[in-house]
């Protein structure tokens, strides 16, 4: 359950929080990517005090967390913006 929480649930929460905080897709995406990477590193350091996982493991696993957080930001941004219909002006 811990890997699922670290690699899926927490990045989704980070993505939602970043979108709510910044309300801009570009800034929220950058914040979510950085925070998701830091979250994975912190979780591996905290949950594995014996040192079986190292920095290389974090580097190899963090793209999954980054992908979930970015997908969440873009999904939330798309739902908030909605579809805009452009009116055609008749000449």
Q: Which domain holds residue 56?
A: 2-81
Per-10-residue mean pLDDT for the chain, 91 residues long? 88 94 91 95 86 82 94 85 62 59
Looking at residue 34, what is its pLDDT? 96
**44 found inside a domain:** yes
Helices and strands (H and E) in the chain: how many? 4, 0
**90 found inside a domain:** no
Report the predicted TM-score, pTM, of the whole model to 2 decimal places: 0.79
**10 found inside a domain:** yes
**75 found inside a domain:** yes
**87 found inside a domain:** no
**88 found inside a domain:** no
Looking at residue 67, what is its pLDDT? 96
The number of domains in the chain is: 1
Residue 21: CA count within 13 A, CB half-sphere: 13
């Amino acid at each position: 359950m811990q890997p699922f929480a670290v690699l899926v649930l927490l990045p989704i929460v980070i993505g939602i929080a970043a979108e709510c905080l910044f309300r801009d897709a570009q800034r929220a995406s950058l914040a979510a990517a950085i925070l998701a990477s830091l979250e994975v590193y912190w979780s591996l350091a905290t949950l594995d005090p014996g040192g079986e996982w190292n920095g290389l493991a974090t580097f190899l696993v963090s793209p999954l967390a980054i992908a979930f957080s970015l997908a969440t930001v873009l999904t939330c941004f798309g739902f908030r913006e909605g579809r805009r219909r452009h009116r055609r002006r008749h000449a």
